[in-house]
Amino acid sequence: METLEIVDVTEGVDSQIRPEDDIQAELLEREFLGVLPGGFPSDFWVYSPGSIVDLESDDGDRGIVALRTFGSVDDVRRRLIEEERARGWQESGVGSALLSFTKEGRRIDLALEARGNETWMRIEY
């Protein structure tokens, strides 16, 4: 028969759960994630920070880019108007969530939609 070694335990096992000691994820500062299609107007400011959600091409010469960003629809709308005006675009608002921008015979239509703490944008150019 084998003999077992007997060991005295002097310290108890620490079974405390300490979430504050866990490694925390860091939110990285980001600008714009994704690559815009080649036909997207280079002089139209794209909301930042933001990321591309979807791309579509229309049968005609118009394309669609869907983006998402953080913030309220009103804040995003206000910043878009400010940035596009600075680049020479003229806006006309159909409502708080629908905008059209024109410049030198070109037109961009933009729809904003609140989704939780994000705003999603559908840009038709």
Q: pLDDT for 71-120, tens place per residue?
A: 899 999 999 999 999 999 999 876 778 999 999 999 999 999 999 889 99
Q: Is the pLDDT of residue 29 over 70?
A: no
**Which of 104, 110, 122 has the alpha carbon at shortest distance from 43?**
104
Reported pTM: 0.70
The answer to whether domain 45-124 has CATH 3.40.50 is no
CA distance 38 to 42: 9
**Which of 70, 69, 34, 64 has the alpha carbon at shortest distance from 52?**
34
What is the domain partition of the chain in residue ranges? 45-124
